[in-house]
Amino acid sequence: MLTAFAIFSDGLVYAAYLFLVAVGLTLIFGVMKILNVTHGSFYAFGAYGAATAAGVWFDRGWSDAGGLLFMVGLAMLIGLAIGIVLERGILRFVYGKDEVVIVLVTYAVFLILEDVIVLVWGPRSYAAYQPMVAAGSIDVGDLTLSNYDIGMVVLAAALAAFGYWALKFTRYGKLLTVVIFDREVAAAYGINVKVIYTVTFLIGAMLGALGGAVMAPKISVTLGIGVEVIVLAFAVVAIGGMGSIEGALIGALIVGFGRAAAVHLVPQVELFVIYAVMALVLGFRPHGLFTQPAPRKI
């Protein structure tokens, strides 16, 4: 019973983390058909930015809640800045090229940004544990739950709900839906697809940085965190169906609970359970659980 509850709570927290890192990736893919490897960099920059902010803020002994806001705010600003440079400086020149070629372009940028991190922050690790400590914990039966983790689950749920609402009911969301459905038709109806692309990419970039900022207090912010995150996010998005927000949510839950179950029941399989699930899902549903393959026309 205890194990079951632990699997449930761990799974939920892990799923929240996965959703936070995958949602930006799936948004960019859905709208722009770009599998954005630099998403890992956004995450890393977000985490480093948040860690720096935490250092500045908490060294002065300022309030805890404000500190977290400052961390998230600075991280998202950095995400926005890199997003603008990338989209305006590089990506817009390769729109319309082969999808695989664009993946390689983002991979190249990802490599560059990995070293930029070293240049800016050096090779040492950073910690930003203060918000985690400040949040404290509660005991549920024999189990201790971190309030910070609970907050993360709430944030992920809120983001999912907001995303759903924004796509369904706002003007921008409706425009996005049209672009996702068919960009030529969208352009023909006078929708400025270029602006939509830019805005979407920037939102995606900020979401990636947000993921990093939120995770920063829970991890050691060190070199290579982006490398790990990007493959995880890929797996989640591929399971749910690339470009679908619901898909990212379901994918995150499947992977989250799958991994939590593995950790508690068969720890040996923990590291590859995610990719095994991904291979299994893709074996039966090549385009993920939530997207329909486009029919081949001749």
Partner 1 sequence: MASRGTLIGAAAFAILAAGAPLLPQWLVSLSTIAFANALVVLGLVILWRTGLVPFGQALFYAIGAYAVALLGRYTPVRDVFVVVIAGAVCAGIVAYLVGFLLARYREIFFAMLSLAMSMILYGVLVKTETLGSTDGFHVEAGSFFGWRPQGAMRNLALFWLVLGCCAVAAVLVARYFRSVAGALAIPVRDNEIRVEFLGISVDRLIHLKLVISGILAGMGGALAALAVQHVDPQMAYWTTSGGFVFVTILAGAGSVAAAFVGSLAFELVRSIAVDLLPGAWQLILGSALLLTILFLPEGLGSLYARLRRRKEETAP
Q: Does 85 bind partner 1 (CB under 8 A)?
A: no
Question: Is the Cβ of residue 115 or residue 182 nearer to partner 1 in the bound state?
Answer: 115
Stretch that binds partner 1, among 14-22, 56-64, 97-105, 201-209 (CB under 8 A): 97-105
Q: Does 64 bind partner 1 (CB under 8 A)?
A: no
Q: Does 44 bind partner 1 (CB under 8 A)?
A: no
Smallest gap from Cβ 175 to partner 1, in A, equals 25
Question: Is the Cβ of residue 44 or residue 72 nearer to partner 1 in the bound state?
Answer: 44
**Which of 90, 127, 134, 150: binder of partner 1 (CB under 8 A)?**
90
Q: Does 120 bind partner 1 (CB under 8 A)?
A: no
**Which of 21, 78, 109, 160: binder of partner 1 (CB under 8 A)?**
109
**Which of 15, 18, 28, 35: binder of partner 1 (CB under 8 A)?**
35
Is the Cβ–Cβ distance between 113 and 38 less than 8 Å?
A: yes
Smallest gap from Cβ 15 to partner 1, in A, equals 19
Q: Does 103 bind partner 1 (CB under 8 A)?
A: yes
Q: How far apart are CA 180 and CA 64, in angstroms?
A: 41
Q: Which residues bind partner 1 (CB under 8 A)?
A: 35, 90, 93-94, 98-101, 103-105, 107-116, 118-119, 123, 227, 231, 234-235, 238, 242, 267-276, 278-279, 282-283, 286-287, 296, 298
